[in-house]
Structure 1
Amino acid sequence: MASLKEVRNRIVSVNSTMQITKAMKMVSAAKLRRAQDRIIQMRPYANKLNELIAQVSEGTEVGAASPYTQVREVSNVLVIVVTSDRGLCGAFNSNVIKATAAYISEHYPAQDAKGNVTIFPLGKKGDEAFVRRGYKVDKSFSDIFQRLSFDTAREAAEQVMAAFANGVYDEVVLAYNEFKNVATQIIKTEKLLPLVNEVSNQTSTTKADYIFEPSEEEIILELIPKSIKMQVYKAVLDSNASEHGARMTAMDKATENGGDLLKALKIEYNRSRQAAITTEILEIVGGAEALKNS
């Protein structure tokens, strides 16, 4: 049985840890509200933009002129992985990292074996994890969450789009946590480029009759890059909201577990103190009896 001092020190330590986890939960709750509002406001615009491209492009060959719809033999692959900069958010980062590694093994085993898969991490945890796994890592925007804005996401998307258009990469995949609610994040792994599959596979129940100004080709070729940038920005906002939700849930659970541990330690402390008192009483009684007999 541990000494009274050891148990007392553990109780103080657990109390201090619980104060930290409670504070982190409150901070994450405040940040979550803002992050959740941003992604909820963003989704309708991004979805409507994709729907508009699908409707306008339906039955036409205009989209094929875009450099971002060109289908090539897949030799080099870029995988954009959105994680967080910090831990203490449960399995938030490990889930998307494992899902990305599994996706690469399943869909690009030949390219992976040749070392032709490059990771483009948005977030430091993804950067660190894939460096440890031995992948080629482009760290250009691994610190994106330190300056999170549409302009930063646009710059990251433009770098990826330029590399695809120049033939550096033949396919680009986007992996991130989609925000559903505070307790639930859904891993999404989707092909970002080439865009041709996304456009041609979307169907609309109603075929709209559009009047184009200035021209159908100019409009579509302008909308396609915007759509790609919006997809990247939406993934970053989704991941940001998911991170705060996951951290809030993890800190709440940590505080709850700390409370259970504290109860057990207090019981142990009381037992140790009772045993110490009993031992002292027995020693006093034994001493008194020894003096009496002498």
Structure 2
Amino acid sequence: MPSLKDIRIRINSVKTTRQVTSAMKMVSAAKFKKAQDDISHIRPYVDRLAGIIFDLSQSLDDGVELEWSAKRDPNKVLLVVVSSNRGLCGAFNSNVIKETEKVIKSKYNYQFKQGNLDIFAIGKQAQKILKSHGYPVVKDFNELYTNTTFEAVKEIAVEIMESFRNEKYDDVVLIYNEFKNAAVQEVRSEQFLPLQLTEAGSGVYNSVDYIVEPDKISFIKKVIPEALQTMFYRVILESLASEHGARMTSMHKATDNATDMLMELQLIYNKARQGAITTEILEIVGGAEALKK
């Protein structure tokens, strides 16, 4: 049985922990609301834009090839892994790491063994863990989370797109958490480049006869790069909303667990205190009886 002093120290420690987790929960809740609003605003725009590009691409003459959808043998592959800079968000980061390792082993194992696979890490957690597992993290963009604006995200997207256009990479795959709700995030791995025009918007939009000036090819060549940048921005927003939701849920559970632990410790403390009082009374009574004799 621990002493009363030890139990009091544990109670104070758990109280402090509960205050920290409760504060982190409230901070994440405020950030989550903004991230959720951003996602709800950008999703319809990106989906509609993808549908327009799909419709127009299907109406192009056979033999017309667009540079952003040019398919090449995947000799050199780039994985863009989106995680967080901080932990304490449940399985948010570990799920991304597991998916990354799964994609490498199942799809790009040959390129990895040949040294033809690179990883761009967005978030310190992915950078640290993937490096420790022996994967080639050649670049990181951890500072993005200090200024998550479209302009900042666009710079990263343009760099990735130029690497593909210059044939430095043949395949570019994004791995991130897609936001479902505060308690659910679905890890996804999707091909960013080459753009799969046969799938973008498929099953969502019917073919529409658009009036385009000056011509469809010029319009698509102008719109696709901007669409890719917006799609990449959406991925970052999806990950941000998922992170705040995961951290808010995790800190809520931690706060509840701390409250339950406090109740148990208080019960143990009361029992120990009652036992100590009973022992003191018995000692006093025993001493008094000894004096009488």
TM-score range, shorter chain: over 0.9
- SS of the residue aligned with 2:139? coil
Assess, with a 3 A threshold, how the Cα gap between structure 1 residues 205 and 234 changes in structure 2: closer, same or farther. closer
The residue number in structure 2 matching 1:46 is: 46
Assess, with a 3 A threshold, how the Cα gap between structure 1 residues 200 and 93 changes in structure 2: closer, same or farther. closer
Q: Report the CA distance between 1:200 and its aligned residue.
A: 7.2
The residue number in structure 1 matching 2:132 is: 132
| Number of positions where the alignment pairs a residue of Structure 1 with one of Structure 2 | 293
The residue number in structure 2 matching 1:165 is: 165
The separation in 2 between residues aligned to 1:131 and 1:277, in whole angstroms, is 57
Assess, with a 3 A threshold, how the Cα gap between structure 1 residues 47 and 204 changes in structure 2: closer, same or farther. closer
Contact 1:55 1:207 in 2 (8 A): yes
Q: Report the CA distance between 1:71 and its aligned residue.
A: 1.1
The residue number in structure 2 matching 1:248 is: 248
Contact 1:57 1:63 in 2 (8 A): no
Q: Output aligned runs, 1:223-238, within 5 Å.
A: 223-238=223-238
The separation in 1 between residues aligned to 2:290 and 2:200, in whole angstroms, is 98
The separation in 1 between residues aligned to 2:164 and 2:17, in whole angstroms, is 48
Residue 241 of structure 2 aligns with an amino acid whose one-letter code is A
Assess, with a 3 A threshold, how the Cα gap between structure 1 residues 198 and 156 changes in structure 2: closer, same or farther. farther
Q: Output aligned runs, 1:56-205, within 5 Å.
A: 56-61=56-61, 64-196=64-196, 198-199=198-199, 202=202
Residue 255 of structure 2 aligns with an amino acid whose one-letter code is T
The separation in 2 between residues aligned to 1:42 and 1:123, in whole angstroms, is 22
Assess, with a 3 A threshold, how the Cα gap between structure 1 residues 63 and 91 changes in structure 2: closer, same or farther. farther
1:19 aligns with 2:27: no
The separation in 1 between residues aligned to 2:114 and 2:142, in whole angstroms, is 24
Assess, with a 3 A threshold, how the Cα gap between structure 1 residues 122 and 165 changes in structure 2: closer, same or farther. same
Q: Report the CA distance between 1:203 and its aligned residue.
A: 5.2
Q: Report the CA distance between 1:42 and its aligned residue.
A: 0.6
Q: Report the CA distance between 1:159 and its aligned residue.
A: 0.6
Contact 1:62 1:217 in 2 (8 A): no
The separation in 1 between residues aligned to 2:26 and 2:156, in whole angstroms, is 31
Give deviations 1:223-271, integer Å, cap 9, x for gaps.
2111211111000001111111111101110010001000100010011
Contact 1:63 1:217 in 2 (8 A): no
Q: Report the CA distance between 1:292 and its aligned residue.
A: 2.9
The residue number in structure 2 matching 1:28 is: 28
Residue 188 of structure 2 aligns with an amino acid whose one-letter code is K
Assess, with a 3 A threshold, how the Cα gap between structure 1 residues 133 and 221 changes in structure 2: closer, same or farther. same
Q: Report the CA distance between 1:63 and its aligned residue.
A: 9.1
The separation in 2 between residues aligned to 1:176 and 1:196, in whole angstroms, is 19
The residue number in structure 2 matching 1:274 is: 274
- SS of the residue aligned with 2:192? strand
The residue number in structure 1 matching 2:283 is: 283
Assess, with a 3 A threshold, how the Cα gap between structure 1 residues 244 and 63 changes in structure 2: closer, same or farther. farther
- SS of the residue aligned with 1:139? strand
Assess, with a 3 A threshold, how the Cα gap between structure 1 residues 244 and 198 changes in structure 2: closer, same or farther. farther
Q: Report the CA distance between 1:43 and its aligned residue.
A: 0.6
The separation in 1 between residues aligned to 2:145 and 2:211, in whole angstroms, is 41
Q: Report the CA distance between 1:287 and its aligned residue.
A: 2.1
Assess, with a 3 A threshold, how the Cα gap between structure 1 residues 111 and 210 changes in structure 2: closer, same or farther. same
Contact 1:77 1:111 in 2 (8 A): yes
Q: How big is the alpha-carbon RMSD for the aligned residues of Structure 1 and Structure 2?
A: 1.8
- SS of the residue aligned with 2:151? helix
Q: Report the CA distance between 1:116 and its aligned residue.
A: 2.0
Query: TM-score scaled by structure 2?
Result: 0.95
Residue 29 of structure 1 aligns with an amino acid whose one-letter code is A
Q: Report the CA distance between 1:137 and its aligned residue.
A: 1.2
Contact 1:124 1:143 in 2 (8 A): no
Assess, with a 3 A threshold, how the Cα gap between structure 1 residues 7 and 55 changes in structure 2: closer, same or farther. same
The separation in 1 between residues aligned to 2:219 and 2:59, in whole angstroms, is 15
Residue 4 of structure 2 aligns with an amino acid whose one-letter code is L
Q: Report the CA distance between 1:60 and its aligned residue.
A: 2.0
- SS of the residue aligned with 2:278? helix
Assess, with a 3 A threshold, how the Cα gap between structure 1 residues 64 and 193 changes in structure 2: closer, same or farther. farther
Contact 1:81 1:100 in 2 (8 A): yes
The separation in 2 between residues aligned to 1:83 and 1:247, in whole angstroms, is 13
Give deviations 1:185-242, integer Å, cap 9, x for gaps.
1111101111135557835663222222011111111121112111110000011111
The residue number in structure 1 matching 2:10 is: 10
